[in-house]
Amino acid sequence: MRIEDLNVSAMIANNKLSEAISSLGFYEFRAMLTYKEVFFGTKVEIVDRWYPSSKTCSCCGHVQPMPLSERVYACQKCGHTQDRDENAAVNLKNCPNNRVRAVSSALDGFPGLKRLRSPEACRRHTRRASAELTPVDRCLSRLPW
């Protein structure tokens, strides 16, 4: 899973966006993903904040200016049209590896994290006390960990 490294402080400095941005809780969302990465064995990656994911065409790679008010990406080079957020999501997925870093590398200094990352610890912490399996448990049991 890849997320953008957003400069939330600068976004809050914009008077038009400050109230909406501060109520979204971007930092909490990232912290929750990082926490879940440890227990569920997923991989969360952060894309460089200067990577132009919204301004780049997901078909031809053309980069063009795009104001926040535009919600549909229309490439001026190849004519490709797509929702702005879907276009950015495709670009994040295909982002070059030199612009991506693992979120867990920022947590390597925390004591006890290596113990929590072990597959056995993940299974032990996610096991239910009840013998009855819920639909979520059945779905999780199919995962390759």
Instruction: Encode pLDDT of 54-103 as tens digits.
Output: 999 999 999 999 998 999 999 999 999 999 999 999 999 999 999 999 87
- Domain boundary assignment for the chain: 1-44+103-145, 52-94
Q: Which residues contact 73 (CB under 8 A, 6 or more apart)?
A: 54, 57, 66, 80, 81, 82, 83, 84, 87
Q: Is the pLDDT of residue 108 over 80?
A: no
Segment 103-127 shows an average pLDDT of 52
The reported pTM is 0.65
pLDDT for res 30: 82
Query: pLDDT grade, residue 20 (50/70/90)?
Result: confident
